[in-house]
A and B are shown apart, each in its own frame.
Chain A
Amino acid sequence: MKNGTALSSGSISSTTGELAERIARTAAAGKPIQLMTHQILGYPDFDANYEMIRLFHENGVEIVELQLPFSEPIADGPVFLKANQASLENGTTTEQCLRFARKVVADFPGIAFVFMTYYNIVVRQGIQAFVRTCADIGIRGLIVPDAYPEESDDFLQACREHGVEPILIVTPYTSDERLAYLSRQTGGFLYCAARKGVTGSKTTFGEETDAFLARVRAVARTPVAVGFGIQHAEDVAFLRGKSDIAIIGTRLLTLLEEEGLPGVERFLKSLSGAAS
């Protein structure tokens, strides 16, 4: 493995924001790889979201991504797509999501919460107003895959102004030049989508992942997170020492649907074993 320098607290400058510093502190305290898990709010319902987050907390998950559902989730695969739409059919509103977020941020101070959503949800609330609300709630970062950075100055500015990190995504197809640009624009961490495609299908982690992460590491000024296709504890083990954070999304939802909370708990324990 080349360029496998996992994060040490010294490599993060204090200008990369509170979330990055928090990740760096956890790394410095001896956690080789941190976990970020995911919830689509309102699916299957908010109570289930809460129980899942409780399990995340009990199993040492550091960061939780709360997805505000959108009717046209173009970057999501079939599992999340269905969940987005089912949540909306249940009547989930942005306001309910914000209220729920306020509660879990207060109840689980050990977890750093970030939002994931699509740009229209942000724009409809008003960019300034939405980001200000996020800051007020204690949301640490925002992942908005269709807020194309070159088109989203207002959004990036608002995030920086209110101390809510705009977390940008890079892929193995991102050119070196663009990688450098995005690594300057991102806050909190750099979200590395491990492959092409949408969320939810399996990624074969191997030499290509290593090469991609080496390119990312060469320019990253923040911690690095890897997502898209992490389905097993072995994937997390593979990423140890290469990525600061492993992102687990679809697999958790599939497990919840197939095996319920006990299945999720077993899986989380295996992940947390691989991560420590």
Chain B
Amino acid sequence: MSTEPIAADNAIPGATRVLAPENGYYGNYGGTFIPEILVPAFAELSAQFEAIKQDASFWQDYTALLTDYSGRPTPLTHADRLTAHFGRARIYVKREDLNHTGAHKLNNALGQAMLAKRMGKTRLIAETGAGQHGVATATVAAKLGMSATIYMGREDMERQYANVFWMKRLGAEVVAVDYGSRTLKDAINETLRDWVSSFETTHYLLGTASGAHPFPAIVSFFQSIIGIEAKEQVLRTAGRLPDRVYACVGGGSNALGAFQAFHPHDEVQLVGVEAGGQGRDSGKHASRLVYGEASPGIAQGYKTMFLQDRDGQMKDTYSIAAGLDYVGVSPILADLAERGRVRFEAATDAEVVEALQLVMRTEGLIPALESTHAFAGLFKHIEETSASEIVIVNMSGRGDKDIFNVAEGLRDEEWNGFIERKHQQYNG
């Protein structure tokens, strides 16, 4: 595994490494469907993003901060015991859990916050699902001396209260979103509502590679660091490119981060794993591309595959992992799926809980429930691989935050007893 700085030829990712949109579109998806009031904000953001893409010093400042503050590059770990367990493809794990704040989210938060500072903004606003992006945003706001407001669905707050606690302690205001499905999509709407009033002083630090152009381009640009590192690391460690790269897909930021560097290499299979929830036909899942229930639509500022009803009303989604519980998907991924460049799988809650236990016990790794979907997606098809193959799983975040959900999923009696005692202690 590598602790060296990023090689010089990667000094700026450049247009070739980032999937470039045409007029804001990726094939049939993307675009800019925004209310008139946001036009100046988007124009300013687009112009500044184009400027920093050409600016080597920005990328250098960005990667320097990632190195010195966030601990990058994150390692690529050879999961030898997991590999031996199956006796099939050699498994490597890209360790975004070791990025500061415990997930890949900080890569984007740091980059966008630097961009926001350049634009003279003093305040950051963000939506969050699992809370990882909220924590990342609260963290960079503290580090860069900005204020932050985080919008989070009430349901997600209940699922991820530890992250709510940290966001507040880091100095951010956390606003509960109490309508709709009370999850990520509603948090996005509410952040947009803030932004239409506050754009002069405030940057909307969108956490996933979705939304109106140029957000998918911006988020995937900053997350591309994951794949840039992983490619270099696998070439150094294994001497060749991997056969497959797996990543979980909610909005799509970690998947695009992991996939982009490998995208030009057609021989590398790219696999996105969606939240299968309680399974196909259960009506309780967040699979947009695998279960065939989504259709093209326009909402939240962009066109993509949405889980929607006949009239175009968005459906409620469900997953054990709050960060994957989203009704749309990155327009970049919708396009890559349509073109067959990225293959999609869905992993159910049950498969995820099982995969988590295996990863913990064989590798001593605790992936987030979101990231565990990537492992579960691999395990479903590992029998098809051979021992000569190489697979990378992007472990997008660590699972400490999921202790309550995991304990519940595993029906851990001892943990329940502990909670019961704590409850009595606080009440007594």
Mutual binders A and B: yes
Mark A residues whose CB is within 8 Å of B. Answer: 70-75, 77, 81-82, 85, 88, 93-94, 118-121, 123-124, 145-148, 150-151, 168-171, 173-175, 178, 182, 193, 196-198
Closest CB-CB distance, B212 to chain A, in whole Å?
9
1/0 contact string of B305-348 vs chain A (CB within 8 Å): 01010111110000000000000000000000000000000000
- Does B22 lie at the interface of the complex (its beta carbon under 8 Å from any beta carbon of A)? no
Q: List 29 A-B contacts (CB under 8 A).
A: A72-B180, A72-B189, A72-B299, A72-B300, A74-B300, A74-B301, A75-B35, A85-B180, A119-B33, A119-B298, A120-B297, A120-B298, A120-B306, A123-B298, A123-B312, A124-B308, A146-B35, A148-B31, A148-B33, A151-B32, A151-B33, A169-B36, A171-B36, A173-B37, A173-B39, A182-B36, A193-B36, A197-B196, A198-B196
Q: State whether A196 and B197 are in contact (beta carbons under 8 Å apart), knowing that A85-B179, A148-B33 are contacts in the complex.
A: yes
Q: State whether A70 and B193 are in contact (beta carbons under 8 Å apart), knowing that A123-B298, A151-B33 are contacts in the complex.
A: no
Closest CB-CB distance, B109 to chain A, in whole Å?
23
- Does B215 lie at the interface of the complex (its beta carbon under 8 Å from any beta carbon of A)? no
Closest CB-CB distance, A69 to chain B, in whole Å?
8
CA distance A124 to B36 in the complex (A): 22
Find chain A residues with CB under 8 A from B35 CB: 74-75, 145-146, 169
CA distance A124 to B313 in the complex (A): 9
Query: B297: which of A88, A124, A174, A198 is its contact (CB, 8 Å)?
Result: A124
Closest CB-CB distance, B316 to chain A, in whole Å?
10
Q: Name the CB-closest residue of A to B25.
A: A151
1/0 contact string of B230-242 vs chain A (CB within 8 Å): 0000000000000
- Does B40 lie at the interface of the complex (its beta carbon under 8 Å from any beta carbon of A)? yes
Q: Are B31 and A151 in contact (CB-based, < 8 A)? A: yes
Find chain B residues with CB under 8 A from A73 CB: 189
Could you say which interface size class chain B belongs to? 20 to 34
Q: How many A-B contacts at CB < 8 Å in the complex?
A: 94
CA distance A85 to B311 in the complex (A): 14
Q: Are B31 and A81 in contact (CB-based, < 8 A)? A: no
- Does B263 lie at the interface of the complex (its beta carbon under 8 Å from any beta carbon of A)? no
Q: Name the CB-closest residue of A to B193.
A: A198
Q: Name the CB-closest residue of B to A88.
A: B313
Which applies to chain A's interface (DSSP): helix, strand, loop or mixed? loop
Q: Are A82 and B179 in contact (CB-based, < 8 A)? A: yes
The 3 closest A-B pairs by CB, nearest first: A124-B312, A197-B197, A120-B312
Q: Name the CB-closest residue of B to A75.
A: B35
1/0 contact string of B163-181 vs chain A (CB within 8 Å): 0000000000000000110
Q: Are B189 and A74 in contact (CB-based, < 8 A)? A: yes
Max count, chain B CB within 10 A of own CB: residue among A73, A123, A169? A123
Q: Are B297 and A196 in contact (CB-based, < 8 A)? A: no
1/0 contact string of B25-68 vs chain A (CB within 8 Å): 00000011111110110000000000000000000000000000
Q: Are A74 and B179 in contact (CB-based, < 8 A)? A: no
Closest CB-CB distance, A202 to chain B, in whole Å?
13
Max count, chain B CB within 10 A of own CB: residue among A88, A196, A198? A196
Find chain B residues with CB under 8 A from A146 CB: 33-35, 298, 301
Find chain B residues with CB under 8 A from A173 CB: 37, 39-40
Q: Name the CB-closest residue of B to A149.
A: B36
CA distance A258 to B164 in the complex (A): 35
- Does B185 lie at the interface of the complex (its beta carbon under 8 Å from any beta carbon of A)? yes
CA distance A169 to B35 in the complex (A): 8
Query: A70: which of B192, B199, B310, B313 is its contact (CB, 8 Å)?
Result: B313
Find chain B residues with CB under 8 A from A150 CB: 32
Further contacts, 20 of them, CB under 8 A, given A74-B193, A146-B298, A174-B36? A72-B300, A74-B189, A85-B179, A118-B299, A119-B298, A120-B306, A120-B308, A120-B312, A124-B297, A146-B33, A146-B301, A147-B33, A148-B31, A150-B32, A151-B31, A171-B37, A174-B39, A175-B40, A193-B36, A196-B196
Closest CB-CB distance, B246 to chain A, in whole Å?
30
CA distance A74 to B212 in the complex (A): 13
Q: Name the CB-closest residue of A to B313.
A: A71
CA distance A182 to B37 in the complex (A): 13
Closest CB-CB distance, A35 to chain B, in whole Å?
23
Query: A170: which of B31, B36, B179 is its contact (CB, 8 Å)?
Result: B36
Q: Name the CB-closest residue of A to B186.
A: A72
Q: Are A178 and B39 in contact (CB-based, < 8 A)? A: yes
